[in-house]
Structure 1
Amino acid sequence: MKKALLALLFSAATLGTVSAQVEIGLKVSPSLTSLRAASPNGDELKSESAKFSLGGGLIIDYFFGQNYAFSTGLELVGKGGKVSYYDANSQRRYEQKLGLQYLQVPLTVKLFTNDVAEDTKVYFQLGGALGGVIGARVDGDKYYTSPVTGNRTKATKHVIIPDANLRLGAGIERQLGQTTRFLLGISYHRGLLNIDKYFEDNAGIKDAELKNSEFALDFGIKF
C-alpha cells in the first residue's frame, strides 16, 4: 500500500513538472492615468484631468493548466494626474499636477480561450498589483512651493510610498514561431489606498483622499 501511494505521488509530481510551463516576455504599456480625489465638503479637493504616462516591464506567465496561468513580473509604471484644491484663507483654488513613478509586482490570473483564429487566443486577466513610489514630480519639478504659505516640500513627500490596485484586462496572444508570442491587451487598474500625504497635513483639508486610476494598453512579446 505504501509503495503504491509513493508511486502515485511520484507520478503526480512528475506529471506536474512536465505539464508546468513558464513563459517570459517584455511589454510596453502607454496609459492614461488620473487621481480620484475626494474630501468631506466635496469641492475642497477635486480631480481635474488625466495625464499620459508610459510604463513597461517583465512578464512571467506560469501555466498550471493548458488555458490557465498565474501571471506576475516586474513593472515600472507612471501614474498621477491633475487635481485642484480650495484654500479658505486666500479664497482661491489652486492646481497641482502630480507625476508619480511606481515599481510594482502584478499578482494576477490569466484565462485563455482555445484558438479563435489560426494561432490566436483571447485571454482575460484578473488580479492586482503591489508596489511603491520610487519617484515623483509636482508641476514637473521635484520640489513644490506652496502659493499660499511659501513652504517648499519635496514631491515624494506628497504621497505615501506603498500602493495596491485591482486589475481587470483582456487581450489577444498570437503565436509567431515555435516559442514566440505577440500580445496586445487593454487593462484597467483601480488604486485601493489613499495615497495623500500633503493636502490634509499642509492644506488643512481634513480626510483628503487621493487614489490612482489607470487605463493601459499592453504591447508585448513572450519568448
Structure 2
Amino acid sequence: MKKALLALLISGATIGAASAQVEIGLKVSPSITHLRANSLENGLQNEKAKLSLGGGLIVDYFFGENYAFSTGLELTGKGGTISYFDLQLNARQQQKIGLQYLQVPVTVKLFTNDIATDTKLYFQLGGTLGGVIAGRIGGEKYYTDPATTEKSKASKHVIIPDAGLRAGLGVERQLGKNTKVLAGLSYHRGLLNIDNYFEDSRGFKEVELKNSEFALDLGIKF
C-alpha cells in the first residue's frame, strides 16, 4: 500500500511538472497617469494627467493550458498635476509631481482558446506591490514651498510603499515555437494614501492622494 501511494504521488508530481510551463519576456508600457486628490480644506484636487513610460520583465507561470500566474519586475512612472488653495498666499498653487516606482505585479491571466490562428485573448486581474525610488516636483528634485520658503526633497513628499489593483485585457499571438507577442490595455488603481507632505508639513486636514494609471502594454515573450 505504501509503495502504491508513493508511486501515485511521484506520478502526480511528474505530471504536474510536465504540464507546468514558464514563459519569460519583456514589455514596454506607455501610460497616462493622474493623482486622485482631495482634502477637507484647501480644495486639494487633480488638475492634469501626465504621460509616463514604464516597462520591465514578464514572468507567466502556467498551471493549466489557459491559466497563468503572472508576475515580474516593473519600473514605471506615475504622478500628475494637482492644485490647492494656499491661505498664506491667498492664491491657488499647483504642483506637477513626477514619481518613479519599482513594483512587482501579483496577478492571474486567463486565456481564451484561439480566436484566430495562433491568437488568443487574455484577461488579467490582481494587484501590485512596490515603492517609490525617485521623485520630482516641477521637474526638480527639490521643492521650495512658495508660502513657507522651506526646501524639501521631492521624493519625501510621498510615502515609499504603494499597493494597487490591476485589471487588463489584450491579445497574445504565437510567432514561432517559443516566441509570442502581446498587446493590451490595463488600468492600475492605487489603494494607499501616499501623501507625506500636506498634512504633516502644511497642516492640511484629511488629505488623500492616490495613484491612477491607464497603460498600453506591448511585449514579447521568449
Q: Per the shorter chain, which TM-score range?
A: over 0.9
C-alpha distance in structure 2 between counterparts of 1:95 and 1:202, whole Å: 16
Partner of 2:219, secondary structure, is strand
User: Where in structure 2 are there 5+ consecutive unaligned residues?
Assistant: none
Q: Partner residue of 1:127?
A: 126
C-alpha distance in structure 2 between counterparts of 1:176 and 1:148, whole Å: 58
Partner of 1:17, secondary structure, is helix
C-alpha distance in structure 2 between counterparts of 1:207 and 1:214, whole Å: 23
Alpha-carbon shift at residue 90 of structure 1 (Å): 2.1
State the AA in 2 paired with 1:150.
Answer: T
Please tell me whether residue 177 in structure 1 is matched to residue 209 in structure 2. no
Q: Would the aligned equivalents of 1:61 and 1:71 in 2 still touch at CA under 8 Å?
A: yes
TM norm structure 1: 0.98
C-alpha distance in structure 2 between counterparts of 1:111 and 1:71, whole Å: 10
Structure 1 outlier segments of 4+, above 6 Å? none
Please tell me whether residue 30 in structure 1 is matched to residue 30 in structure 2. yes
State the AA in 1 paired with 2:205.
Answer: K
C-alpha distance in structure 1 between counterparts of 2:80 and 2:154, whole Å: 14
With 198-207 and 130-139 compared, the bigger mean Cα shift is at 198-207
Partner of 2:93, secondary structure, is strand
C-alpha distance in structure 1 between counterparts of 2:28 and 2:162, whole Å: 21
Identity %: 71
Please tell me whether residue 61 in structure 1 is matched to residue 34 in structure 2. no
C-alpha distance in structure 2 between counterparts of 1:175 and 1:28, whole Å: 18
C-alpha distance in structure 1 between counterparts of 2:214 and 2:55, whole Å: 14
Please tell me whether residue 2 in structure 1 is matched to residue 2 in structure 2. yes
Could you give the per-residue CA deviations for residues 89-114 of structure 1, whole angstroms, max 9, x where no partner exists? 22211000000000000000000000
Aligned-residue CA RMSD (Å)? 0.8
C-alpha distance in structure 1 between counterparts of 2:88 and 2:215, whole Å: 39
C-alpha distance in structure 2 between counterparts of 1:126 and 1:200, whole Å: 33
Alpha-carbon shift at residue 206 of structure 1 (Å): 1.3
State the AA in 1 paired with 2:31.
Answer: S
State the AA in 1 paired with 2:8.
Answer: L
Alpha-carbon shift at residue 160 of structure 1 (Å): 0.3
C-alpha distance in structure 2 between counterparts of 1:71 and 1:61, whole Å: 4
